[in-house]
Amino acid sequence: MDRLDRKILRLLQEDSTLAVAEIAKKVGLSTTPCWRRIQKLEEDGVIQRRVALLDPAAINAKVTVFVSIRTNSHSNEWLKRFSEVISEFPEVVEFYRMSGDVDYLLRVVVPDIAAYDAFYKRLIAKIEIRDVSSSFAMEQIKYTTQLPLDYIQLAKEPGSSS
């Protein structure tokens, strides 16, 4: 993993429809080695998948709700079942086990408050939860799938000696 790989990843995180030749030009390689690098990044699982991102408004899912959950049971058994139940809901797009005050945090996407209420009822019907607290997002100021590439451990590269 070197500077070139990082550049390639940066481009593909922006737009995965770029042609290999196009990427090669931008990173300063010819197409064959650039193609091989991309292959390798996919084999190694650095690039996990390529997906289409949709406009939330266009599919009537523009309200984000953060749901903080506190629980009584902390057994593995319970967590397993809990995870399965939660993950089945397509409205739940993110789901974290947290440290501190709150045990779990969900990001839920729905059309409006009424739909959230319906979701909430379906959720608590399926599993018992001690304490639930919902916070509504008024505005999504930034949302990106582009992870920061500044922390990658770069391997030694040729041409770095004086």
Shortest distance (Å) from residue 44 CB to a second copy: 7
CA distance 7 to 81: 41
Q: Between helices 76-88 and 113-126, what is the axis angle to 10°?
A: 140
On the CB side of 123, CA atoms within 13 Å amount to: 23
Partner interacting with residue 31 (select from DNA, a second copy, none; CB below 5-8 Å by kind): DNA
Partner interacting with residue 61 (select from a second copy, DNA, none; CB below 5-8 Å by kind): a second copy
Tell me: does residue 85 bind DNA (CB under 7 A).
no
DSSP class of residue 118? H
- CA dihedral for 32, 38, 40, 42, sign (positive or negative): negative
- Distant-in-sequence, close-in-space partners of 102: CB < 8 Å, separation ≥ 6: 68, 69, 70, 133
Tell me: does residue 135 bind a second copy (CB under 8 A).
yes
Segment interacting with DNA, rule: CB under 7 A, options 14-22, 56-64, 84-92, 114-122 = 14-22
Q: Which residues would be at the binding site for a second copy (CB under 8 A)?
A: 9, 12-17, 44-56, 58-61, 64, 66, 83, 86-87, 90-102, 104-105, 109-111, 115, 135-153
Q: Which residues would be at the binding site for DNA (CB under 7 A)?
A: 4, 19-21, 28-37, 39, 156, 158-159, 161
